[in-house]
Amino acid sequence: MTDRLQNKALVLALATLCCLLWGSAYPAVKIGYGLFDIDTTGAQVLFAGYRFTLAGILAWIITSVYYKKIVVPRRDEWGRMISLGLVQTTLQYIFFYIGLANTTGVKASIINATSTFFAILFAHLILKNEKMTRAKIFGCLLGMSGVIIIQLNGGTIDSRFSLIGDGFLFLVCIASALGAVMTRVFTKKSDAMILTAYQLMIGGVVLIVVGLTMGGTITQITIPGLLLLGYLAALSATAFTIWTILLKHNPVGIVAIYGFMIPVFGVMLSGIFLGEQFLNLRILVSLACVSVGIWLVNREADQQQDKKRS
């Protein structure tokens, strides 16, 4: 199983699927705000809490069916699952929703893309076998340039810095990157599917508590809204489970580099579902930069593996 999950073509296919699902969340969340009449930060955090709690429950059901038993963590696993849930789900999405409300969408997309670089950097600092190289740095910079290109539409980026806006979004990147490294470490001792289910549930419940504490309420309930919430929960359960399994069997850098595809898919799917323009040269150049960046990081990993074998 490990050999299959380290196959480059399979990693490419599964990681791309995860990025496509996460990219689809951008327009889906925006549509959800309208369907549920969400217009405050507290309500946004509460909405995120419902989404991730439900995602955790779905992941738990799928895992229980897969193992043909009710899956419950061992006593020594609870600490890992709570800490991962607080970092990867609770902190990341609290900072994301508050930060996004206090800066522009262009800056948010560019800043969030730095989580890929942070993940590779943290892996270099924390994990013994994942070294930072020139190829990895250049691949990250090239991928970042692709994300910047896709966000520029004949305008400029606001240079003003907002601590509660831009600063919080950098904290999102740090939480996301740290969560990726923690996942790599924790899955050596815990089942990836069980870890995903419980960290999503734990993080989601804490988000609900935080959202309620902030005064968040959701009073407009419709069938389309519930169906959309179900989709958001399902995509989170699917993407986080697959991503966690990939991180278990591959170096963080090999998986994290695909994160540059998320804003690309987000822009394209927003164009399809929200009517925003996206079919232009800018998209093609952005995709080229992201693709070459991913190829460089993967080529570097292949060369390192060849050296180890020789």
Render pLDDT for 229-268 as a digit per residue (tens, 0 to 9).
999 999 999 999 999 999 999 988 889 888 878 877 877 8
| Nearest to 41, CA basis, from 210, 236, 201, 229 | 210
Q: Which amino acid is at 88?
A: Q
Q: Report the chain's C-alpha Rg in angstroms.
A: 19
**Neighbour-count burial for 97-109, b at 16+ CB within 10 Å, e otherwise:** bbbbebbbebbbb
In the predicted model, is pLDDT for residue 306 greater than 90?
Answer: no
User: What are the tens digits of pLDDT across the range 12-21?
Assistant: 999 999 999 9
Provide the percentage of residues in the chain whose pLDDT is more than 70: 88
In the predicted model, is pLDDT for residue 104 greater than 70? no
Can you give the residue range of the structural domain that contains 104? Answer: 2-309
Judge whether residue 41 has pLDDT over 70: yes
Report field, pTM of the whole predicted structure over 0.75: yes
Q: How far apart are CA 231 and CA 141, in angstroms?
A: 33
Q: How confident is the model at residue 303 (pLDDT cuts 50, 70, 90)?
A: low
- Whether the CB-CB separation of 212 and 74 falls below 8 Å is answered with no
Tokens at 253, concatenated: 């850098």
Q: What is the mean pLDDT of residues 209-228?
A: 96
- Tell me the C-alpha distance between 294 and 256, whole Å: 9
Q: What's the mean per-residue pLDDT of the chain?
A: 86
φ, ψ of residue 159 to 5 degrees: the values are -85, -5
Contact 255, 184 (CB under 8 A): no
| Overall number of domains in the chain | 1
CA distance 128 to 120: 12
Do 198 and 73 meet the contact criterion of CB atoms below 8 Å apart? yes
- The Cα–Cα gap between 45 and 227 comes to 19
Is 90 exceeded by the pLDDT of residue 7?
no
Would you say residue 225 has pLDDT above 90? yes
Model pLDDT for residues 50-71, shown as the tens digit of each residue: 999 999 999 999 999 999 999 9
Predicted pLDDT of residue 49:
97
